[in-house]
Amino acid sequence: MTARKIIHIDCDCFYAAIEMRDNPQLASRPIAVGGSADRRGVIATCNYEARAYGVRSAMATRQALQLCPQLTLVKPRMEVYREVSQQIQQIFRRYTELIEPLSLDEAYLDVTESPHCGGSATRMAEEIRQQVWEKLRITVSAGVAPNKFLAKIASDWRKPNGLFVITPAEVEAFVSDLPVKRLHGVGQVTARKLERLGVTTCRDVRRLDALSLAKELGGFGERLWQLAQGIDERPVVVDSRRQSLSVEHTFDQDLPDLPACEAELPMLFAQFETRLARLRSRYRAEKPFVKVKFHDFSQTTLEQAGTGWTEEGFRQLLQQAFARGNKPVRLLGVGVRLSPLGVPGEQFRLF
C-alpha cells in the first residue's frame, strides 16, 4: 500500500494575527481577542507577546488582565475571520479537494494523489504557507506525516510559522520518544492514571498490552495503544456533518453546590459561543443541552426543545440537571444539537 500523505495546516494565533494585520499598531503589543472583563468574558485567542505573560485561550479575561495589565483587548470580528478562512481554503483547493476543516483556522489535507510539486507533500506544504503569507499576510504552521494523528502533532512542533515533516521511515523513532501528554485524548486525569502505571512516553505504552490498557482506561485504552504504535487509519473526511456542538470542562476540585456551578457557566458559555460562531454558516442550532458529571462519576444530560441557547437558558437547564444528583460536580458541559443548513426538504421556522 502507498503511504498516505497528510498535511495539517494550523494558523498561528488566527484571530489575533488578523487584528495585527489590519491594525499594525497592535503588532508590537500583547493583545487578546475576547470578551470584556466586566461581563466575565473569556479570551478566544492571543498573540505570542501575550502568551509570554501566561495568557492563554479559554482563560477568563479578568485573569488575563491580572497576568498582563498592559494587555490590549480586541472585540472579535467573526465575519472577517470567516472571510479569511474561506480565502485560505481557496488556496488549499489548488492542491487537493480532499480537505477536512476542523475550525476556521485549521484543516487536514490529503495530498496522496495530488500531482502538484511532483507529488511532494513537503513542497506543497511549503507553497501553501508561502501563498497564505503573500496573499493574506498571516502565518500558518504545517505538519506533514503519513496520518492525521502525526500530522497534527507535527504542525505544532515548530510553531509559530514553522514546518515539520515526519516521513514513514521516521515514524517509529519519533513516536517512541513522544510524551503521552502530547496525544489527543490524554488529559490530566488520564495522564495521572498512566503515570501510576509508569507510563510517560509512547515507548512505555508499548510495553503494555492492549487488554491491560482497556481495563485501566476503558475504550480509550485500545485507541491509545494504536496511537503509541503510530497507527491512525482515520481518513480525511470531506463532507462530515456534525450532530452536536458542546464545550466541557473537568475541574481540578469538585464544585460543591449549585451556586458554584452557576459561577462557572459564563466561562463555558463564552467558549461555546465562540465555537458556535464558526459553524453558523453551515449549521442551525436546535435543542440546547447541559451535561453534569458528579463527583462519583455518575452523570446526567438534560436537553429541552424551546429553551434558548442563551446563558440564561443554559442556567435553567443546569438548575434542573443539578437537582437530579444534588452532589458535588467534577465536570460541566453545555451544547446544542445541530442540523445542516440547506438540506432539501427541511422545514424552516416561521419566525
Asked if residue 345 has pLDDT above 70, the reply is no
342 pLDDT tier (thresholds 50, 70, 90): low
- Binding-site entries for Mg(2+): 10, 105
Q: What was the pLDDT predicted at 152?
A: 96
Q: Tell which wins on pLDDT, 240 or 100.
A: 100
Kindly report the pTM of this predicted structure: 0.70
- Give, in degrees to the nearest 5, the angle at Cα 56 between 335 and 285: 20
347 pLDDT tier (thresholds 50, 70, 90): very low
Asked if residue 220 has pLDDT above 50, the reply is yes
For the chain, the domains span 6-13+79-167, 17-76, 172-228, 244-340
Q: Has domain 6-13+79-167 been given CATH number 3.30.70.270?
A: yes
239 pLDDT tier (thresholds 50, 70, 90): low
Mean pLDDT confidence for 128-156:
97
Mean pLDDT confidence for 182-198:
85
Q: What was the pLDDT predicted at 126?
A: 98
Q: In angstroms, rounded to a whole number, what is the distance separating the alpha carbons of residues 226 and 224? A: 5
304 pLDDT tier (thresholds 50, 70, 90): confident
Asked if residue 259 has pLDDT above 90, the reply is yes
Q: Tell which wins on pLDDT, 219 or 293.
A: 293
Task: Return the percentage of the chain with pLDDT > 70, whole number.
Answer: 95
106 pLDDT tier (thresholds 50, 70, 90): very high
350 pLDDT tier (thresholds 50, 70, 90): very low
Mean pLDDT confidence for 26-39:
88
Residue 54 backbone dihedrals phi, psi, to 5 degrees: 95, 5
The CATH number of the domain covering residues in 244-340 = 3.30.1490.100
Q: What was the pLDDT predicted at 240?
A: 61
31 pLDDT tier (thresholds 50, 70, 90): very high
Q: What was the pLDDT predicted at 278?
A: 75
Positions marked active-site:
106
Q: What was the pLDDT predicted at 349?
A: 36
261 pLDDT tier (thresholds 50, 70, 90): very high
For the ranges 120-129, 211-220, 294-303, the lowest mean pLDDT is seen at 211-220
Computed over its alpha carbons, how large is the radius of gyration of the chain?
A: 22
Q: In angstroms, rounded to a whole number, what is the distance separating the alpha carbons of residues 269 and 64? A: 18
Q: In angstroms, rounded to a whole number, what is the distance separating the alpha carbons of residues 213 and 199? A: 11
For the ranges 4-18, 89-103, 269-283, the lowest mean pLDDT is seen at 269-283
Q: What was the pLDDT predicted at 167?
A: 96
Residues 6+ apart with CB under 8 A from 76: 15, 33, 34, 44, 274, 277
Mean pLDDT confidence for 94-116:
94
Bridge-based pairing state of the strands 299-303 and 99-103: unpaired
Q: What was the pLDDT predicted at 2?
A: 61
Q: Tell which wins on pLDDT, 32 or 237.
A: 32
Residues 6+ apart with CB under 8 A from 270: 34, 35, 40, 41, 42
Mean pLDDT, all residues of the chain = 89
250 pLDDT tier (thresholds 50, 70, 90): confident
Asked if residue 100 has pLDDT above 90, the reply is yes
Other CB atoms within 10 Å distance of the CB of residue 289: 21
Bridge partners of residue 207, in order along the sequence: none
Q: In angstroms, rounded to a whole number, what is the distance separating the alpha carbons of residues 220 and 213? A: 8
The CATH number of the domain covering residues in 17-76 = 3.40.1170.60
Q: In angstroms, rounded to a whole number, what is the distance separating the alpha carbons of residues 171 and 270? A: 38
For the ranges 216-220, 289-293, 313-317, 335-339, the lowest mean pLDDT is seen at 216-220
Q: In angstroms, rounded to a whole number, what is the distance separating the alpha carbons of residues 221 and 216? A: 7
Q: In angstroms, rounded to a whole number, what is the distance separating the alpha carbons of residues 161 and 11? A: 8
Other CB atoms within 10 Å distance of the CB of residue 263: 11
SS (H, E, C) the chain: CCCCCEEEEEECCHHHHHHHHHCHHHCCCCEEEECCHHHCCEEEEECHHHHCCCCCCCCEHHHHHHHCCCCEEECCCHHHHHHHHHHHHHHHCCCCCCEEEEECCEEEEECCCCCHHHHCHHHHHHHHHHHHHHHHCCCEEEEEECCHHHHHHHHCCCCCCCEEECCHHHHHHHHHCCEHHHCCCCCHHHHHHHHHCCCCEHHHHHCCCHHHHHHHHCHHHHHHHHHHCCCCCCCCCCCCCCCEEEEEEEEEEEECCHHHHHHHHHHHHHHHHHHHHHHCCCEEEEEEEEEEEECCCCEEEEECCCCCCCHHHHHHHHHHHHHCCCCCEEEEEEEEEEEECCCCCCCCCCC
Give the CA dihedral 134, 135, 139, 140, nearest 10 degrees: -110
The CATH number of the domain covering residues in 172-228 = 1.10.150.20
145-177 pLDDT, tens per residue?
999 999 999 999 999 999 999 999 999 999 999
Q: Find out whether 40 and 266 touch, Cβ atoms under 8 Å.
A: yes
